[in-house]
């Protein structure tokens, strides 16, 4: 498939926003159940939520460039009963609004205790709102991943690993950014976020590598015979069906030489996984906030390459006809 940069930025940017919110809420939840000391100010969660909103809104803005008529974009939510894309269009604004509410509750310190559990754990308003938003965040990961996983004839995408990788890679980038943010805030959560960022990066490597291995072993159901509708033991294609380019040759094939295609795969495998882990480990040992920023920047750049490869790797059955010269 032809990778659209608007969708590449949309999926990676909102993934960072989702992951950062999940990191913030995880830190708050751990402090409530006394796994971590309750040491963070309301401003920490408020500013962190603002950063998450910046990424979410940037991703939403990027999506406009994928629309032929952005003024009609609201209509994309009309098919929410049957379309995962429509569901994403509904869930993303809901997540943005609740994230903003979560941040405002902390930033304005409008956070009354609603009830206590066994006189030990105090459940305040932000904790309840955050729990709802956590469910919305994972629903958004599901919707985004299923947009591609539900397309059965694109066998590289039609796998549960697509949803798993969208969830893990978004969470990983969010926790890496949370590590940098906590370090600059002088937060005691830096080690906590950094440790989880490393764990999530390694788990993401395992699942993403699994999807790459799976895709190399796919036996495609479509053949040249089914593409042209001729039953014969040997069919050789001598032309691509057109004298020049067309919509079919542009939109359903990435167009990159095989050496570039393979190079991008190894580029993202290096910059998304081992390099950030090394940088995070160095930052944690030296308590250097700048190293965490570099780790996030390297990982996000790698995610752009990973998402390009994800789209380009999908081999549309029509390429059996139009992409053979």
Average pLDDT score over residue span 158-172: 96
Of 188-192, 237-241, 266-270, the one with minimum mean pLDDT is: 237-241
For residues 97 and 70, the answer to whether their CB atoms sit within 8 Å is: no
Query: What pLDDT is attached to residue 243?
Result: 63
pLDDT at 171 over 90: yes
Domains and CATH numbers, the chain: 5-228+237-322 (1.20.1630.10)
Query: What pLDDT is attached to residue 123?
Result: 81
Average pLDDT score over residue span 184-213: 95
pLDDT at 314 over 80: yes
pLDDT band of residue 190 (cuts 50, 70, 90) is: very high
Query: What pLDDT is attached to residue 323?
Result: 61
Average pLDDT score over residue span 6-30: 95
Average pLDDT score over residue span 61-80: 77
Of 61-75, 163-177, 185-199, 231-245, the one with minimum mean pLDDT is: 231-245
Of 104-113, 156-165, 269-278, the one with minimum mean pLDDT is: 104-113
Q: Which residue has the higher pLDDT, 40 or 27?
A: 27
What does the pLDDT look like over 29-40, one tens digit per residue? 988 877 777 666
Give dist(CA 35, CA 124) in Å, integer: 17
pLDDT band of residue 160 (cuts 50, 70, 90) is: very high
Average pLDDT score over residue span 128-144: 96
Query: What pLDDT is attached to residue 252?
Result: 79
Give dist(CA 71, CA 311) in Å, integer: 26
- Percent of the chain's residues with pLDDT above 70: 92
Q: Which residue has the higher pLDDT, 197 or 71?
A: 197
pLDDT at 71 over 80: no
Query: What pLDDT is attached to residue 241?
Result: 59
Query: What pLDDT is attached to residue 319?
Result: 76
Average pLDDT score over residue span 62-82: 77
pLDDT at 324 over 60: no
């Amino acid at each position: 498939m032809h990778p659209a940069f608007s969708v590449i930025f949309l999926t990676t940017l909102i993934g960072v926003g989702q992951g950062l919110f999940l990191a913030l809420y995880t830190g708050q939840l751990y402090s409530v159940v006394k796994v971590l000391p309750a040491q963070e100010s309301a401003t920490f969660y408020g500013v962190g939520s603002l950063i998450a909103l910046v990424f979410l809104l940037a991703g939403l803005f990027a999506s406009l460039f994928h629309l032929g008529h952005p003024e009609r974009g609201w209509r994309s939510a009309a098919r929410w009963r049957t379309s995962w894309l429509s569901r994403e269009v509904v869930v993303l604004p809901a997540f943005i609004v609740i994230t903003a509410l979560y941040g405002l509750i902390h930033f304005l310190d409008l956070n009354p205790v609603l009830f206590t559990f066994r006189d030990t754990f105090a459940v305040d308003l932000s904790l309840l709102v955050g729990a709802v938003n956590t469910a919305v965040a994972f629903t958004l990961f599901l919707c985004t991943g299923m947009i591609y996983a539900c397309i059965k004839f694109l066998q590289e995408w039609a796998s549960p690993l697509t949803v798993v990788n969208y969830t893990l890679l978004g969470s990983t980038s969010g926790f890496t950014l949370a590590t940098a943010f906590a370090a600059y805030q002088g937060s005691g959560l830096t080690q906590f976020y950094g440790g989880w960022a490393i764990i999530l990066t390694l788990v993401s490597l395992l699942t993403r590598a699994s999807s790459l291995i799976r895709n190399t072993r796919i036996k495609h159901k479509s053949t040249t015979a089914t593409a042209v509708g001729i039953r014969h033991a040997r069919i050789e294609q001598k032309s691509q069906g057109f004298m020049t380019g067309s919509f079919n040759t542009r939109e359903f094939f990435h167009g990159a030489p095989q050496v570039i295609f393979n190079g991008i795969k190894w580029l993202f495998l290096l910059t998304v996984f081992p390099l950030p882990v090394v940088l995070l480990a160095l930052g944690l040992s030296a308590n250097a906030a700048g190293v965490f920023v570099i780790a996030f920047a390297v990982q996000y750049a790698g995610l752009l390459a990973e998402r390009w490869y994800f789209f380009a790797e999908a081999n549309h059955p029509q390429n059996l006809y139009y992409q053979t010269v």
